[in-house]
């Protein structure tokens, strides 16, 4: 079973370091309350750790989609 994650931006990136802004951009998050879905991979987990204070992470199972 493939695990997917829903990432939602909850806090603004204004005034944050450029690396954090670029991480949000790489995740595909464009604005506040915007959600994207990604596969649960080590690369995505690393990006989540960098901006964990700005986003909310929800785990999606195959049943919930």
Domains in the chain, please, with CATH?
Answer: 4-64 (3.30.1390.20)
Percent of the chain with pLDDT over 90: 89
Is 70 exceeded by the pLDDT of residue 63?
A: no
Helices (H), ranges, 1-65: 18-27, 42-50
pLDDT (tens digit per residue) in 23-42: 999 999 999 999 999 999 99
Q: What is the average pLDDT across 33-55?
A: 97
Q: Helices H, strands E: what count in the chain?
A: 2, 3
Instruction: Return the higher-pLDDT residue of 12 and 63.
Output: 12
Hey, what are 18's tokens? 């450029």
Range with lowest mean pLDDT among 17-21, 32-36, 58-62: 58-62
| Full-model pTM | 0.88
> Length of the chain in residues, anyone?
65
């Amino acid at each position: 079973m493939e695990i997917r994650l829903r990432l939602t931006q909850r806090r603004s990136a204004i005034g944050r370091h450029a690396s954090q802004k670029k991480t949000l951009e790489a995740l595909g998050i464009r604005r506040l309350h915007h959600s994207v879905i990604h596969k649960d991979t080590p690369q995505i987990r690393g990006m989540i750790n960098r901006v964990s204070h700005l986003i909310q992470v929800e785990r999606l199972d195959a049943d919930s989609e």
